[in-house]
A and B are shown apart, each in its own frame.
Chain A
Amino acid sequence: MNCLQFENALSDYLEGAGSSEQQAHLSSCSACSSLLADLNLISAEASSLRESDGPAPHVWTALEAQLRREGLIREASRPLLPDFLLRWKTAWLVPVAAALLIAVGIKLYQAPRIGDNQPLAKNVVPRVPVAPVVSVDDKDILTTVASRPPAQVAAYRNDLDQANAFIRDAQESLKNDPNDIYSQQLLINAYEQKQMLYRLAVDQSDEQ
């Protein structure tokens, strides 16, 4: 067997179907032996290229945008209550919520009149008071919970911040449109949530 014959059959040899003649030629020919070694090396090293590179960040950005355009990413429905409230056990909140709703309802019913002797116009919705129903300083409440484990204090502070953010958002909406019933309801909900947090802080402190 000469080198050209060996080369022509090399593909089969590399697939494991080599002949004894090829083997004999290899043992006596340094050029073909070198060629075989190099081809095996290239094949062996090739797998190192398999995950050698990653795409630039903009690829994901563009992909995500396209997924949203096609509606493949679906928005989760907004919960009626924010996350932080869902974490608290709600059983004991029922009577507290009922009492608060009654108090807020009374406040709403006692809406300010336009002028001394003029009743409200029929199509004017009573305005919700901007000031909180119960004005307790956040700092006092944070002082009350300060003695608890740091993780609890942090969670409480976070929940309070969220409640305040809800209140601010609702107030901002009402500034733009005081007759916006949805924003009014949101503000009521936000104050109720904050009241519940105060209750929790006070009640749990009493238990300790």
Chain B
Amino acid sequence: MTDAKRPRGNKLSEPEAIERAKQGDAEAFEFLYNLHKRRVYSLCLRMTGNTASAEDLTQEAFLQLFRKIGTFRGESAFSTWLHRMAVNVVLMQLRKKNLPVVPIDETTEGEEEGTIRKELGAPDERLAGSIDRLQLQRAVDELPPGYRTIFVLHDVEGYEHNEIATMVGCSIGNSKSQLHKARIKLRDLLRVNRAEKAGKR
């Protein structure tokens, strides 16, 4: 696969692969892709809820990475640099499709209050100490796009609210508020899912 020579039997390290990728080494590109593909793809999948879109966006993110790799100077970790690029690619795509990156509070606030008030009167039904990962995945996929973006960036990918605010173009307060509502919504979805499964037995 590679078009450049390397000593036989030597494993590539990430810094070596980065330098060789700058020279156009195919094997180095593939090494970096395999090293980071799961993280990037999972991010794209969680934020779009769609496999085909996630694959296209993964390809686009790595394409942009490899086009710009010559400018990488190592000021930040390579994975951080790549991840930011992937997030930007996804957010741009969501904006192109006119999907809300962050929901506008005014349109959703009344709706959420009603949901919460109804819930306060409901019997105590915990999620019982564990969550099935697949169920959580499905619930995240069902979130409205705006909630999904904030939840994925914060709880799944570990970004802080100030970083999210910069990336998506909202205030820190808005980011916190939307995260909270996303978690509430997820709880509802998970409980409904469990109730449906219990009802089928």
Residues of A within 8 A of B (CB): 3-4, 7, 10-11, 14-15, 30-31, 34-35, 37-39, 41-43, 45-56, 58-60, 62-64, 66-67, 70, 72-76, 83
**How far, in angstroms, from A67 to B37 measured CA to CA in the complex?**
16
Out of B117, B130, B156, B184, name the residue touching A39 (CB < 8 Å): B184
- CB–CB A42/B42 < 8 A: no
List 15 additional A-B contacts (Cβ < 8 Å) besides A52-B42, A53-B41, A70-B67: A31-B122, A34-B124, A35-B119, A47-B158, A49-B42, A59-B55, A59-B58, A60-B37, A62-B59, A64-B30, A66-B59, A72-B66, A73-B3, A73-B25, A74-B24
Q: Which 9 A-B pairs have the closest CB atoms?
A: A74-B24, A46-B155, A11-B180, A51-B38, A55-B41, A76-B3, A73-B26, A38-B127, A46-B156
**How far, in angstroms, from A64 to B41 measured CA to CA in the complex?**
16
| Shortest Cβ distance from A71 into B: residue | B24
Which residues on the B side are within 8 Å of A63 (C-beta)? 33, 59, 62-63
**How far, in angstroms, from A48 to B155 measured CA to CA in the complex?**
10
Interface of B is mostly: helix
**How far, in angstroms, from A53 to B51 measured CA to CA in the complex?**
10
**How far, in angstroms, from A53 to B48 measured CA to CA in the complex?**
14
Residues of B within 8 A of A (CB): 3-5, 23-26, 29-30, 33-34, 37-39, 41-43, 45-46, 54-55, 58-59, 62-63, 66-67, 116-117, 119-120, 122, 124-127, 129-131, 133, 136-137, 140, 151-152, 155-158, 176-177, 179-180, 183-184, 186-187, 190
- CB–CB A41/B26 < 8 A: no
- CB–CB A42/B136 < 8 A: yes
Centre residue among B41, B151, B190 by max chain A CB count within 10 A: B41
Which residues on the A side are within 8 Å of B120 (C-beta)? 3-4, 7, 31
5 contacts between A and B (CB under 8 A): A37-B127, A42-B187, A55-B55, A60-B30, A72-B29
Question: Distance in Å from the Cβ of B36 to the closest Cβ of chain A?
Answer: 10
Out of B23, B26, B67, B131, name the residue touching A64 (CB < 8 Å): B26
- CB–CB B183/A43 < 8 A: yes
**How far, in angstroms, from A35 to B188 measured CA to CA in the complex?**
10
| Shortest Cβ distance from A63 into B: residue | B59
Which residues on the A side are within 8 Å of B59 (C-beta)? 59, 62-63, 66
**How far, in angstroms, from A42 to B131 measured CA to CA in the complex?**
8
Contacts A49-B136, A60-B33, A62-B59; A42 near B126 (Cβ below 8 A) = no
Which residues on the B side are within 8 Å of A70 (C-beta)? 67
**How far, in angstroms, from A70 to B179 measured CA to CA in the complex?**
40
- CB–CB A49/B140 < 8 A: yes
Question: Distance in Å from the Cβ of B192 to the closest Cβ of chain A?
Answer: 13
- CB–CB B29/A49 < 8 A: no
| Shortest Cβ distance from B179 into A: residue | A11
Question: Distance in Å from the Cβ of A60 to the closest Cβ of chain B?
Answer: 6
- CB–CB B140/A15 < 8 A: no
Which residues on the A side are within 8 Å of B66 (C-beta)? 67, 72
| Shortest Cβ distance from B139 into A: residue | A42
**How far, in angstroms, from A178 to B153 measured CA to CA in the complex?**
66
Question: Distance in Å from the Cβ of A20 to the closest Cβ of chain B?
Answer: 21
**How far, in angstroms, from A39 to B183 measured CA to CA in the complex?**
6
Which residues on the A side are within 8 Å of B30 (C-beta)? 60, 64
Centre residue among B25, B67, B136, B177 by max chain A CB count within 10 A: B136
**How far, in angstroms, from A39 to B155 measured CA to CA in the complex?**
11
| Shortest Cβ distance from B176 into A: residue | A11
| Shortest Cβ distance from A12 into B: residue | B176
Question: Distance in Å from the Cβ of A18 to the closest Cβ of chain B?
Answer: 13
- CB–CB B155/A47 < 8 A: yes
